[in-house]
Amino acid sequence: MKKVFKLTDLDCANCASKMEISLRKIPGVTAAVVSFMTQKLTLEAEDALWDSILPQAERVISKIEPRCKIAG
């Protein structure tokens, strides 16, 4: 299943690239795209794993850019 999330306070294109690479390493994630221009995160993952993937994605994002959050 593919879901699109709005990101807040994404200030760095290089950080967006680092986030993509790290998000793709989360078990169950099949694709991840972070767009610095649109401030959006597109995640594609197995339906059954969404409950565990989203908190992991939030940790990955805040570790790379602490002020950046998934807005929904």
* Domain locations along the chain: 2-70
Mean pLDDT, to the nearest integer, of 2-24?
A: 96
Residue-wise pLDDT for 40-61, tens only, equals 999 999 999 999 999 999 999 9
Order of strands across the sheet that contains 69-70: 29-35, 40-45, 2-8, 69-70
For domain 2-70, give its CATH number from 1.20.1250.20, 3.30.70.100, 3.40.462.20, 3.30.300.130. Answer: 3.30.70.100
How large a percentage of the chain has pLDDT more than 90? 96
**pTM over cut 0.85:** yes
Q: How far apart are CA 1 and CA 16, in angstroms?
A: 22
CA-nearest of 45, 41, 49, 2 to 20 is 41
Residue 25, C-beta contacts closer than 8 angstroms, at least 6 positions apart? none
